[in-house]
Chain A
Amino acid sequence: MKFSRKTAAFAAVLAGVLVAGTACGGSDDENASGGDITLTVDTFGAFGYEELFTQYEAAHPGIKIEHRNEKEHEKVYVPKLLQYLETGSGAGDVVALEEGVLTSLRGQADKFIDFNGYGGAELEANFIKWKYDLGKSLDGKSLMALGTDVGGLAMCYRTDLFEKAGLPTERDEVSKLWPTWADYSATGAKFQDKVADTKFVDGPAALYNAILSQEAPKNGNYTYFDNAGAYVADKNPAVKTAFDTVNGLKDLSAGLKAFTPEWQTGFKKDSFATMACPAWMLGVIKENSGDAYAGKWDVASVPGGGGNWGGSYLAVPKQSEHPKEAAELAEFLTSPESQIAAFKAVNALPTSPQALADPQVADAKNDYFNDAPVGKIFAAGASTLQPVQLGVENVSVRTVFEDILIAIGQGQLSAGEGWTKAIEDGRKKSE
């Protein structure tokens, strides 16, 4: 038998391969009877949970946490999440939902566990009232999600580059430079005259969303959709104002799309000197700039007087195999103490009154940002922040507007053409 050995070898290989192929290398290495449980947590951007995970694992032997983080939110994180929810598998045990995404899901409470079944009702006092209420399903029966943070606005800027441009560098002085967006624009023009290689603004997205969140309260407190859910992007002055203001700053902008690799690189390349900063953005800036830029960023007030953009929630999809453990983890991560920790880590502005009042937050200085009194800047106004009505399709429409602003910056469209196209494409997405 000349080939029996070959046959045997071949069969062995095949068998080995088949066994390997069916024993999947997934993350489902649990057994129901009290072995190790792996909880997967899905986040985007920067949530500042790494230390908390370590803590939690130490306090709960038998629970392992796998953290899946996507940098890009609208085009990567959200579509995947919605796909997992629709197919009933693939989502993390705990998922982070940006405010706009949560708004779009409040009609689908059946896809998430109800925290009321896990002691969520007792937690009400831990959250600013509107934040807690927004986490409920539309019919108010189910508590779908727990708030993590709110998005008070400021303006971050590079002190070293301001010095180069002969501008003041001290934060109160800088705040005085731009009470309005027009002043901001004038400052930018001065800056770019002096510093050739750096643009004044990072790109359109953060600016646009910041201005939109300022303008919405003046116009019925909604953006693309009115309170009845009708598409009103073409009629709402808030949208037009934000759109036009950003286009007016086009020549001062590096034209980078937020959260793309190029944008992340821009931090290390001195591509821009200022950016609109909701509280959570500080963590993103720090993460992208790295230690080399410690102390070079600072925080001033935002032109146009405050606003609230973004902020997120945690929820547990129904498809989780460990709803109880996942709910406990989510409750831990949104507890006042954890919110304080996340604030320290990435400046995620707490949505818990206790945390906001805590000296660790209220008196906090951020050493990375040149010891800026972030507690005073952000936390002081947090309790007065109000949510903007968003509408179910707000995420897809927002994405359309952000993309078109980029295209206008690239010179592919005139501002007028861009506006028409944004209104139309937005309408298409909302249908």
Chain B
Amino acid sequence: MKQNRPLARAATWFDLKAAPYFLVSPYFILFAIFGLFPLGFTVWVSLHDWELAGDREWIGLQNYTDLVLDPDFWNSVVNTLGMFVMATVPQLLLALMLANALNKRMRFRLLFRLGVLVPMVTSIVAVAVVFGQLFARDYGAFNWLLGTDGLDWKAEKLTSWTAISVMVDWRWAGYNALIYLAAMQAIPRDLYEAASIDGASSRRQFWQITIPMLKPAIIFTTLTSTIGGLSLFTEPVMFAQGDVGGGSLGQFQTIAMYMYEMAFREREYGYASAVAWMLFLLIVLVSLVSFLFTRRIGGTK
């Protein structure tokens, strides 16, 4: 159809120019409504004494100044950071060892890989229910195993953090191990062969070659663990059977729990929004620190 050609060409030109935007726009529109807008609106809410019923009063930065002086908030910050360290460091080390063990020749390789991933499949709620029973004070299997009869895991900061960290570690160690494993398999073999010829022991090879080559994967897992760890919520909530208070004195109340408590239990939406922003800042801060820290691992090449 000759006479249609300019039209067709115009259509093609339009298709080339506009189609990409058409393809990416659903994502950006939905993200703007349900991601970006709430994020910005949080700032707006945090500058008010906000009530749902309609009374709201502009109070500027007062929520933030109150927050800085709020011992309960700082308590939740300490708990969050404490559990983050307790859960992340052993978890990533464990993942490294697991990955190293999996990176060998053996039968049933896939079975092992599937096996270590099973915990990630279970819902956090289910994990916490099961572990909550294992850590129970009066007849829990852990007290029986460890001979610590009648130990109340929920009563103290250290014990409750331990219990919660165990849940987090158990769930994520396998997943991170697979990521390390993938990175290990991408390391060129001849590096090791050359090192073997130079007489480097396998332990030394691990520290001199494997770890530095894993750096991107380590940075990636550290960042995801940071984001996940600092917004820890479900495990400690379920550990207290659905109570966001985190123990009798808030000994394991995380920042996310404190935010939830302020918003949905005390109905202080403005104050809770201020907590949300502080959490965000903390995540950015800790991510930066752990990024700089992990970047230095294994020296510079």
A interface residues with partner B (beta carbon < 8 Å): 72, 75-76, 79, 82-83, 86-88, 255, 257, 260-262, 265-266, 269, 271, 403-404, 406-407, 410-413
Contacts and interface: CB of A to CB of B under 8 A. Distances in A.
Contact of A271 (B138, B251, B267): B138
A79 to B, nearest CB: 4
A411 B157 CA distance: 12
Interface of B: 51-53, 136-139, 152, 155-156, 241-243, 245, 248-249, 251, 264-267
A412 B248 contact: yes
A265 B138 contact: yes
A410 B267 contact: no
A172 to B, nearest CB: 33
Given A255-B152, A412-B156, A412-B248, 16 more contacts: A75-B243, A75-B245, A76-B243, A79-B267, A83-B264, A87-B52, A260-B241, A262-B136, A265-B136, A265-B138, A271-B138, A403-B248, A407-B248, A407-B249, A410-B152, A412-B155
B245 A403 contact: yes
Contacts of B245: 75, 403
Contacts of A412: 155-156, 248-249, 251
Contacts of B251: 412
A362 to B, nearest CB: 39
Contacts, number: 51
Contacts of B267: 79, 82-83, 86
B249 A75 contact: no
Contact of A86 (B53, B137, B155, B248): B53
A410 B252 CA distance: 14
Contacts of A410: 152, 155-156, 248
Contacts of A404: 248-249
30 contacts: A72-B243, A75-B245, A75-B265, A76-B242, A79-B266, A83-B264, A83-B267, A86-B52, A86-B53, A86-B267, A255-B152, A260-B241, A261-B241, A262-B136, A262-B137, A265-B136, A266-B138, A269-B138, A271-B138, A404-B248, A406-B248, A407-B249, A410-B155, A410-B248, A411-B155, A412-B155, A412-B248, A412-B249, A412-B251, A413-B249
A403 B152 CA distance: 15
A260 B265 CA distance: 18
Contacts of A257: 248
A404 B242 CA distance: 19
A326 B233 CA distance: 37
Nearest to A260: B241
A269 B243 CA distance: 23
A236 B96 CA distance: 60
A279 B81 CA distance: 45
Given A79-B264, A265-B138, A410-B152, A86 B249 contact: no
A86 B50 CA distance: 12
Nearest to B263: A83
A26 to B, nearest CB: 20
A407 B248 CA distance: 6
A397 B242 CA distance: 21
Contacts of A413: 249
B25 to A, nearest CB: 18
A79 B242 CA distance: 13
A18 B53 CA distance: 31
Nearest to A108: B53
A94 B168 CA distance: 41
Contacts of B52: 86-87
Contacts of A72: 243
B115 to A, nearest CB: 31
Nearest to A85: B53
A266 B138 CA distance: 9
